[in-house]
Amino acid sequence: MTSKPQLTANRTNARKSTGPKSKAGKSIASTNAVKHGGTAKRFISSVESQAYRAFLAALQKAYTNQNPLVAMQLERIAKIKIQLERIQSTIDATFRMAQEEEGLDTKLMDLLNMDKILRSQAKSISSGEIELSEWVNLDRIKIVAELSSVDIAELKTHHDFLTKTPQLCQYLFNRSCEYQISILNFIDLHAEIDLKKSTQLKGGFDELMRGLAQGIGFDSNDNLDNAIQKVNLEALSKAANLYALEINRLSDAHYKIIAFTRLRQIPHLPIALNLETLDKLYRYQSALQRQLSSCIGELLILNKPSS
């Protein structure tokens, strides 16, 4: 049994522990039980308060009826609108949290055994910096496909290259014109760049090439046939072998990028979602939507011209 002195001491201490007394302290304490704020009855940030005032001002400008019931409906509509925006943001955040598990992208990259360059490209695609379609180099794929059906050792003349590897010849010509250097210099410079770097996004390869190219040997009057004829056969074979070696690496890289993109789009909802919380949010959202519809209907009735 508690003694009388102890009981007196307990009551004295209780009177001292009454919580914050200042306005600021009470404001902070009022949010102690807030978990996500989605169903809060009051505004939970200055941003919401400002949005409410701005929308209410717009409504008041549109509805100038002096009826106090109209003014009340406008305030209710503005408040419900802000609450609906908040609840939708909360629902969206709940789904994002379910999908964005910590380290998910890194785990997928490890699973696909991506090297440093592929990881960088995958991040650019997943962040939306570039589209997947922009990453796929169709010209290079066509060249690889063309060379896979040709025995490079049997290409003995310039005519052989022009007729049996037209995709390769056209690509070399187009790129040499782009950098304004001869095809021979393009091949030599290309060979100096690490083969993996050459499959980076266009900007990365261009930056490397333009840093090395000096416009040497370029003749703007050359057509495709003339430009190829000026390149010695050894250099053309070198270029053909350079691109032919890419077939396995290119197909592997494309598979990994596409697989990564597809895998990270798979929803992980059954694992991470708090379905009880989500159900509560949806129910609250539905109730707010019904309230908003009702308020708008009442507002229209109040503003209906007298007959």
Domain boundaries, the chain: 45-101+268-307, 107-263
Q: Which of 23-27, 79-83, 109-113 has the lowest mean pLDDT?
A: 23-27
Give the separation between CA 28 and CA 24, rounded to whole angstroms. 6
Instruction: Give per-residue pLDDT as tens, 233-243.
Output: 999 999 898 88
pLDDT tier at 193, thresholds 50, 70, 90: low
Chain-centroid distance, C-alpha 253: 21
Residue range 295-307: mean pLDDT, rounded = 80
The predicted pLDDT at position 269 comes to: 41
Instruction: Give per-residue pLDDT as tens, 153-162.
Output: 999 999 999 9
Q: Does position 302 have pLDDT exceeding 90, yes or no?
A: no
Both structure tokens of 30: 């009022």
Both structure tokens of 45: 């940030």
Write down the pTM of the prediction: 0.43
pLDDT tier at 99, thresholds 50, 70, 90: low
Helices (H), the chain: 4-16, 23-29, 46-62, 68-99, 104-111, 116-126, 132-135, 138-148, 158-164, 166-179, 183-192, 202-212, 224-229, 233-244, 246-263, 269-272, 275-302
Both structure tokens of 263: 């895998």
Give the separation between CA 44 and CA 28, rounded to whole angstroms. 11
* Between 201 and 90, residue with greater pLDDT: 90
| Neighbouring C-alpha atoms within 13 Å toward the C-beta of 178 | 13
pLDDT tier at 118, thresholds 50, 70, 90: confident
Q: Which residues contact 157 (CB under 8 A, 6 or more apart)?
A: 233
Residue range 168-181: mean pLDDT, rounded = 88
pLDDT tier at 47, thresholds 50, 70, 90: confident
Q: Does position 265 have pLDDT exceeding 60, yes or no?
A: yes
pLDDT tier at 32, thresholds 50, 70, 90: very low
Burial class (CB in 10 A: 0-12, 13-18, 19+), 125: buried
* CB burial string 266-304: b at 16+ within 10 A, e below: eeeeeeebeeeebeebeebbeebeebbeebeebbeeeee
The predicted pLDDT at position 125 comes to: 77
* Between 34 and 79, residue with greater pLDDT: 79
Give the separation between CA 264 and CA 271, rounded to whole angstroms. 15
The predicted pLDDT at position 25 comes to: 47
Q: Does position 112 have pLDDT exceeding 90, yes or no?
A: no
Give the separation between CA 59 and CA 66, rounded to whole angstroms. 13
Cβ(269)–Cβ(98) under 8 Å? yes
Taken in order 206, 211, 214, 217, the sign of the CA dihedral is negative
Q: Please report, for residues 112, 248, 280, the alpha-carbon distance to residue 224 in angstroms, rounded to integers and kept in the order given.
A: 41, 29, 68
Q: Which of 73-77, 92-96, 185-189, 238-242 has the lowest mean pLDDT?
A: 92-96
pLDDT tier at 209, thresholds 50, 70, 90: low
